[in-house]
Structure 1
């Protein structure tokens, strides 16, 4: 339990070094990872059940070759595709916003540098170091947050296409 408290203090010290914008990036990252976990749960736990239900309903049909049956098949595949893509736009938006929050932190930190320069003069490098730190750390944090979401967003988009195609292929006429 001691190590957990120490890590918490390290996180708080890092956030203090980067300024208050890091709290916003941390919140954004938390929401992003909640979305990633929700989509993972859907793809690996919920969707296989939905896919099996759709396929069993299709296999139970007597008519799978008429125009009407083909429209039902298209509708079922389309509904599954919508479920597979659900939430990906929001996740992509979170990934795109993350670096912008980092840039906002850069601007915030640079404003502190300019305030220090106005008060202490331009030659006090030690006084400006804190502002420069608050300018660079949020940029790095925003980029790391975005990178952590890019992989999963790309993976989920690919998986949605593949699973839609697989579902359509498994719904054969008989």
Structure 2
């Protein structure tokens, strides 16, 4: 979630100032039709796009890891249940309840993290794509 919050802060606070600097730099150019001007234009757009796109591969990786961590907690909880069963037998449900609770809670936590992360990532990606389209129309030749 920290990466998602960082991306939101970048999009709302940092990117607008970088965008205005790039637009000001482009507007101050007298020559906007030469090859070198087109390269500068592409460089300005590329830097802004790269700023918008950065961090999303890491966010995707963390979202993919969330269910796996939940599964790891599930396995750990079930090992605890089997350990209790080995020591006390299957006739002690109270002793097994702790391991089962740990298994279920970790599964739920992994799924909640992954699902909420996917939703937040989807919203941020849409916001970034909208901003990229806006950049293309604003910083035109």
Please indicate, yes or no, whether the TM-score normalized by the shorter chain is above 0.5: yes
Task: State how 1:37-48 maps to structure 2 within 5 Å.
Answer: 37-48=5-16
Question: How far has the Cα of 1:160 moved from its partner?
Answer: 2.2
User: Stretches of 4+ moved more than 4 A in 1?
Assistant: none
The residue aligned with 2:38 is 70
**Contact 1:88–1:156 (8 Å) recurs in 2:** no
Question: How far has the Cα of 1:108 moved from its partner?
Answer: 0.2
Task: State how 1:46-65 maps to structure 2 within 5 Å.
Answer: 46-65=14-33
In the alignment, which of 63, 71, 89 is matched to residue 95 of structure 1?
A: 63
Moved more, 107-116 or 80-89: 80-89
**Cα distance in 2 between the residues matched to 1:57 and 1:155:** 30
Question: How far has the Cα of 1:79 moved from its partner?
Answer: 0.9
C-alpha RMSD of the superposition = 1.4
Question: Structure 1: which 5+ runs fail to align?
Answer: 1-32
Work out the number of aligned pairs and report it.
141
Question: How far has the Cα of 1:37 moved from its partner?
Answer: 2.0
Deviations 1:79-134 (A, max 9, x none): 11111111111122111111111110000000011111111122332322221111
**Contact 1:102–1:143 (8 Å) recurs in 2:** yes
* Secondary structure of 2:30 counterpart: coil
Task: State how 1:17-36 maps to structure 2 within 5 Å.
Answer: 33-36=1-4
